[in-house]
Amino acid sequence: MRNIFKLTGLICLLATTMAHAAHTEAKLVLATAAARPGDMIWAGVDLKMDAGWHTYWKNAGAAGLPTKIEWQLPPGVTAGEIEWPLPQIIPPTEVITYGYEHEVVLLVPLTLATNLNPGPLVLKADVSWLECKEQCVPGSAKVEATLNIGSETKISANAAMIESWRGRVPKAGNIFPFRAAWEKPATGDMRPLLLVLPVFEHDKWPPITGANFFPDASDEFEVQAAAEMISNPSVEFEFRKLVKKFSGDWPKQISGVMVIERNGNREGYEVKLPVSGQAPAIAGTSSATALPSQSLWKMLVYAFIGGLILNLMPCVLPVIALKILGFVNESKSEPLHIRAMGLVYAVGVLVSFLALAAVVISIKAAGHQAGWGMQFGNPVFLACLTVLVTLVALNLFGVFEVTISGRALDAAGTLASKSGAAGAFFNGVLATALATPCTAPFLSIALGFAFAQSAAFIVLIFLAVGAGLAAPYVVLSWNPAWLKFLPKPGAWMEKFKIAMGFPMLATTAWLFNLASGSYGKNVLWLGLFLVVMALAAWIFGEFFQRGRKRRGIALAITLVLLIGGYAYALENQLRWRETVAETATTGSLKESPDGIDWQPWSPEAVAKARSGGRPVLVDFTADWCLTCQVNKKTSIEISSVRAKLKELDAVALLCDYTRTPSNILTELKRFDRAGVPLVLVYPKAAAEPPIVLPEVLTPGIVLDALDRAAH
């Protein structure tokens, strides 16, 4: 007799007539109301328990039995395995079990055959469970739901709920160096096992408040539920579990779900841990902290290198040109002054990155998801940045000039090109604002890691990125002798300043195009406001700054144009502060007869293609991501890749992150990314993991991945 509690539960089930339990309600819910033949859809068995009652996980622990689902499905519909959300520890402490209280949705993928006829399909299942409070009662229910088969897929009213419960299913991989080792030799059929989660220094690592291990069931041994904390959680989480052997040798590997708790949230990771013969090093030794410390520094180095590479991205090039102009202006200054300006520029960058980190932390604290470049999915931010960059361009063209006492109209434009601390600081702010839609090599890995961590870790990584972005200018300013290689100051600088206005004007055109994706045809009113603002700036510069007569009239006209243009064009016609609803894209996204036949991305679309044995190319992209657009033009939307996709009968899926939808951000985080670009190639063998391509692509990289996916 291996477990008296489980045997008792089984006898109870066999001896009792199964009926609807009085304390648990079962219902079948679907994520889609309508689907196409060949789709994969998510079904969920929603179990709602009365207060104080609970049901059980797939491994019930010391007692209990898992819930079972027996499907009665029509021909052409196939059910996959149950995906179990993270369980809870169910008291009492003498008999610890794993299960669920209040409510749980057990998730099951359903695959539809390609030859299904249009019309309604009735999906049925017999669900049986054991529910317990002071006593245990077996229960069962017959559940059913109707799915319409048609020419398009439509989500149901339960889609959001199912997506929420999918987020509670353990992740397939983990970022933590979990370890397992035998503490000492066995005593009879019992042996203590140590499970260790080393952490970084407590001031640099998220506040992990707990950890536990939920084992998979085994016929040869049992990892018992009780856990005893051993070490100091500020250094590492080390806890002891007893393993009871039934037959065979002591296990060399254990599998299950490792759960960590932080910031009030529980995160689960499916693990298969080799069990070493010796106990891990105790807290405070070098072996206990070396690996995580290396990982921390590795992420910080990645963040710094990514920030350094951002200087080469097209997003930041207009600001780089202004910075070079500033260095030329400063080349005759005292070395101490030049160094101070370099540091002020770095402060502008770091303060801006701290502000971005604060926004990310606030969004996460509010229970929402955050991603890199997310502000470019906000039309209000795009409109403001378009106005700002336009002012910078007008100032570079000499339309208006400002002294330190100038007014708010021209402050932004002037600060970007003037010398002194204000100009250096604002250059740092503007460089950060324009850098955020770009993702450089190394940067996405560090950001993907940081966005999953606590506030302290997010700040650390963001500061490292900012340090990388500012580093070249700080180094140059602290080596003034290198400035001798720059041209000498002279009359040419005025012409160069005007020339630098054109890259800024090109940036305005790019931002205006992004805004059109949110405002549609109404974006014309934003363009008209920019024209009115430019006229106001010209009147201000020509008749107020450089004129000697009627300066008051010029200022009044300037204010009337700005206030009237804003009120009529932006507020009345564009209604620029109103949230623009997202529109779903359905059907083919093909752009031209000879282009790639892009289809909208969804997890169901990936599953459908792989079930048919077809490779899949997925491009996670956004209109505001210049790296994405360069990859598309140079390495994806090219003849050789189009030919290879047709040769392999591969499916191309486009995942549009322009408006930063939460479901796509969730998918990005599955691959430890905080933003785009991300290009995946799924092999035709459904069991193989996807090939993750680097941020910057070449045709050879894409073609090689497609060839590998076909074998």
Span 94-127, pLDDT tens digits: 677 899 999 999 999 999 998 999 999 999 999 9
* Residue 120 confidence (pLDDT): 93
Question: What is the distance, to the nearest Å, from the Cα of residue 493 to the centroid of all Cα atoms in its chain?
Answer: 43
Q: pLDDT category, 320, cuts 50, 70, 90? A: low
| Alpha-carbon span 226 to 165, nearest angstrom | 26
pLDDT for residue 292 is more than 60? no
Query: Domain 4-158: what homologous superfamily?
Result: Thiol:disulfide interchange protein DsbD, N-terminal domain (2.60.40.1250)
The lowest-confidence range among 123-137, 269-283, 645-659, 682-696 is 269-283
Cα 391 to Cα 337, 400, 433, 544, 547, distances in angstroms:
28, 9, 15, 17, 21
Give the pLDDT confidence of 537-558 residue by residue, as tens digits.
999 988 888 877 888 898 899 9
Q: Is the dihedral of CA 291, 296, 299, 305 positive or negative?
A: negative
* Residue 175 confidence (pLDDT): 58
Question: What is the distance, to the nearest Å, from the Cα of residue 535 to the centroid of all Cα atoms in its chain?
Answer: 42
DSSP string, 244-307: EE-SSSPPSEEEEEEEEEETTEEEEEEEEEEEESSPPPPTTSHHHHHHHHHHHHHHHHHHHHHH
The lowest-confidence range among 392-396, 591-595, 631-635, 666-670 is 591-595
Q: Read off the DSSP letter of residue 632.
A: I
Mean pLDDT computed over 81-98: 84
Q: pLDDT category, 70, cuts 50, 70, 90? A: very high
* Residue 476 confidence (pLDDT): 77
Cα 223 to Cα 59, 123, 362, distances in angstroms:
11, 37, 40
* Residue 477 confidence (pLDDT): 77
Mean pLDDT computed over every residue of the chain: 78
In this predicted model, which residue has the larger pLDDT, 650 or 356? 650
pLDDT for residue 296 is more than 70? no
| Alpha-carbon span 231 to 229, nearest angstrom | 6
Cα 246 to Cα 94, 218, 220, 225, 476, distances in angstroms:
21, 10, 5, 16, 69
User: Of 449, 431, 439, nearest to 631 (Cα)?
Assistant: 439
Residue with tokens 């205006």: 512
pLDDT for residue 79 is more than 60? yes
> What percent of the chain stands above pLDDT 90?
25
Q: pLDDT category, 199, cuts 50, 70, 90? A: low
* Residue 685 confidence (pLDDT): 81
3-state secondary structure of 491: coil
Structure tokens at 315: 């997003």
Q: Is 458 exposed, middle or buried (0-12, 13-18, 19+ CB in 10 A)?
A: buried
Most confident of 109-113, 198-202, 493-497: 109-113
Mean pLDDT computed over 593-615: 82
Cα 318 to Cα 321, 324, 633, distances in angstroms:
5, 10, 22
* Residue 702 confidence (pLDDT): 94
pLDDT for residue 371 is more than 80? no
Q: What angle do CA 496, 497, 501 make, to 5 degrees?
A: 110
* Residue 584 confidence (pLDDT): 38
User: In the chain, where does the domain assigned CATH 2.60.40.1250 lie?
Assistant: 4-158
In this predicted model, which residue has the larger pLDDT, 262 or 594? 262
In this predicted model, which residue has the larger pLDDT, 691 or 311? 691
- Find the length of the chain: 711
Mean pLDDT computed over 443-468: 75
| Alpha-carbon span 62 to 504, nearest angstrom | 67
User: In the chain, where does the domain assigned CATH 3.40.30.10 lie?
Assistant: 598-709
* Residue 26 confidence (pLDDT): 95
| Alpha-carbon span 616 to 602, nearest angstrom | 12
pLDDT for residue 481 is more than 60? yes
Q: Please name the amino acid found at residue 275.
A: V
Which residues contact residue 346 at a Cβ distance below 8 angstroms, ignoring those fewer than 6 apart? 428, 466, 467, 470, 473, 474
| Alpha-carbon span 393 to 296, nearest angstrom | 41
- The CATH number assigned to the domain with range 179-284 reads 2.60.40
pLDDT for residue 76 is more than 50? yes
* Beta carbons of 534 and 390 less than 8 angstroms apart: yes
Most confident of 83-92, 374-383, 582-591: 83-92
Give the pLDDT confidence of 347-366 residue by residue, as tens digits.
888 888 888 788 777 765 65
CATH class of 598-709: alpha beta
pLDDT for residue 193 is more than 80? yes
Q: What are phi and psi of 61, to 5 degrees?
A: 95, -140
Task: Kindly report the three-state secondary structure assignment for every residue of 435-484.
Answer: HCCCCCCCHHHHHHHHCCCCHHHHHHHHHHHHHHHHHHHHHHHCCHHHHH
Burial 559-594 (b: 16+ CB within 10 A, else e): eebbeebbeebbeeebebeeebeeeeeeeebeeeee
Q: pLDDT category, 42, cuts 50, 70, 90? A: very high
In this predicted model, which residue has the larger pLDDT, 36 or 179? 36
pLDDT for residue 535 is more than 80? yes
